[in-house]
Amino acid sequence: MTTQSSTKTNTGPARQQYISVELRNWIIAQAQAGVAPETVLEAMKSSGWHEDVAIQALEETLRSHLTEHVQKTQAAAPANHEPQPVPVPDAPVADSPSRIRILDRDVTVLMSMKHPRVLVLGGFMSDQECDQVVALAGPRMARSETVDNLTGGSEVNVARTSRGMFFERGETGVIDRIERRIAALLSWPVQNGEGLQVLHYQPGAEYKPHYDYFDPVHPGSATILKRGGQRVGTLLMYLNTPKKGGGTTFPDVGLEVAPIKGNACFFSYDRAHVNTRSLHGGAPVIEGEKWVATKWLREREFI
């Protein structure tokens, strides 16, 4: 690596170093190859970079590369380009049943919306199942991360202040039973589901509105999409009832789903586009705490 000038970092005079084109290309190549930023940082330090200056150079390089990539991709795409719709999971509610039998359980249909496709189901999980999942997840909780749009890895994000963990598919008896129930409800293979995620929100914690699909414009999406294609549906299962707040919101249509223990909220999106109106968020918990499990469904087998 050389330190000849092309872009100058904006640290104080004693700490100025220059990001050469060669170094910039090397940093980007490392990120695209999936090398962890900490490893890149160590290599830069070994080449004589001060840690704080190296961190700043890394951040600037990756940020400007991401911006350039997004701008180029958007410029190349036709205006308002919408991907072709694909088949999505759905529950058998066409004839407006008040209850549906799903394997071993009667589930009530509390609300059904077409656009965005949202269903709210009562009694999807028993109280005992909810408590079991919380007890299994509790010792494994860590600060929730979101997808790193450049590499397809994950990173801590201020928009998501919950704590969370992932189960392996079929990891325990209760997880396996719930996954089979989801597959039966939505006529979607168990293999197309990501591992169940559990989130825990304390008062003030929230998940700001976002889309669950992966935006193809981001360079990191290509890697993620190799493992089973796009996400096409989300099932949220409320594992407790917060005293106040913590609803799931759909800002495009002014909908808020109350987080009630055992109930589930399903929504789908047949293309990675805002026109699906699938923007949604976890409203801040105001009083009490919130436990929720998320099952994301992919187009194909998720490996």
For ligand PD2, the closer CB: 70 or 258? 258
Distance, in Å, from the CA atom of 135 to the CA atom of 133, rounded to the nearest integer, reads: 5
Q: What secondary structure does DSSP assign to the chain, as a single string? A: ----SSEE--S-GGG--EE-HHHHHHHHHHHHTT--HHHHHHHHHHTT--HHHHHHHHHHHHHHHHHHHHHHHHHHSPTT--PPP------S-TT--SEEEETTEEEEEEEEETTTEEEEEESSS-HHHHHHHHHHHGGG-EE-EEE-TTTS-EEE-TTB--EEEEPPTT-SHHHHHHHHHHHHHHT--GGGBPPPEEEEE-TT--EEEE-SSPPTTSTTHHHHHTTTS-EEEEEEEE-S--SEE--EEEGGGTEEE---TT-EEEEE-SSSSGGG---EEEPPEEES-EEEEEEEEESS---
Segment lying near ligand PD2 (by CB under 6 A), choices 93-101, 176-184, 270-278, 279-287: 279-287
Smallest separation, CB 69 to ligand PD2 (Å): 24
Q: How far is the CB of 292 from ligand PD2 (least distance, A)?
A: 4
Please, what is the minimum distance in Å from the beta carbon of residue 82 to ligand PD2?
A: 22
Q: Is 194 in the site for Zn ion (CB under 5 A)?
A: no
Of 17 and 249, which CB lies nearer to ligand PD2 in the complex structure?
249
Select the span of 23-31, 46-54, 65-73, 276-284 touching ligand PD2 (CB under 6 A).
Answer: 276-284
Rounded CA gap, 160 and 281, in Å? 10
Give residue 78's Cα distance to chain centre: 27
The yes or no reply on residue 219 touching ligand PD2 (CB under 6 A) is no
Does residue 236 touch ligand PD2 according to CB under 6 A?
yes
From the list ligand PD2, Zn ion, none, which binds 281 (C-beta under 5 to 8 Å, kind-based)? ligand PD2
Residue with nearest beta carbon to Zn ion: 212
Q: Which is nearer to ligand PD2, 219 or 233 (CB)?
A: 233
- For the bound state, the minimum distance from the C-beta of residue 196 to ligand PD2, rounded and expressed in Å, comes to 11
- The interface partner of residue 248, options being Zn ion, ligand PD2, none and the CB cut-off 5 to 8 Å by kind, is ligand PD2
Least spacing, CB of residue 206 vs ligand PD2, in Å: 9
The verdict on 212 binding ligand PD2 (CB under 6 A) reads yes
Stretch that binds Zn ion, among 15-23, 94-102, 197-205, 208-216 (CB under 5 A): 208-216
The closest alpha carbon to 224, from 265, 203, 194, 188, belongs to: 194
Rule CB under 6 A: say whether 233 interacts with ligand PD2: no
Query: Which of 179, 206, 212, 270 is in the footprint of Zn ion by CB under 5 A?
Result: 212
Residue nearest to ligand PD2 (CB): 282
Shortest gap between Cβ of 296 and ligand PD2 (angstroms)? 7
- CA-closest candidate to residue 152, choices 223, 73, 59: 223
Of residues 91, 178, 185, 199, which one binds ligand PD2 by CB under 6 A?
199
Q: Which residues bind Zn ion (CB under 5 A)?
A: 212
